Amino acid sequence: IELPFEKGEAGYSDGDVLIHAVIDGLLGAAALGDIGSFFPPEDPGLKDISSRILLRRITSLIKDEKLRLVNLDCTVVLEAPKIRAFVPLIRKNLAEDLEIDEQYISIKGKTKEGLDQTGRGEAVEAYAVVLVDGAGYDLKP
């Protein structure tokens, strides 16, 4: 979702730092590399692409790897805008793209209270802790 604010994110795709963190978390949990391995910034077909499209592609890949997402815990660090009012919609969109129930998705907003680039409002950080399960699948090589 786009948060109403005078500043915006810069990025090759749409600059959605939260979804990019989720993608990296999913790929890391599956030991498949990182977002740049799958979606290199030099690919002109990815310029301004919706991060939700990228997330859906990775969701499909995770399923192909015989893994399922159990839980997602996200933290977004920014001074403004406050994200609390947007959390329900963020959870809804992530649940839709990840094909899981919203109850398994946590989104938290934090600030750095003026410390470093993020605390001065010059940057945004996002972190995603991803739990995947291969129960019922043979995950041995």
**102-137, pLDDT tens digit by residue?**
999 999 999 877 777 777 777 789 999 999 998 666
Domain ranges of the chain: 17-133
- From CA 13, how far away is CA 81, in angstroms rounded? 21
Q: Where are the alpha helices (DSSP H) in 9-135?
A: 17-29, 35-38, 51-64, 87-98, 116-119
pLDDT at res. 11: 55
Specify the fold of 17-133: 60s Ribosomal Protein L30; Chain: A; (3.30.1330)
The pLDDT value recorded for residue 5 is: 47
* Interatomic CA distance for residues 131 and 30, integer angstroms: 10
Mean pLDDT computed over every residue of the chain? 85
The vertex-25 CA angle with 20 and 26, nearest 5°, equals 100
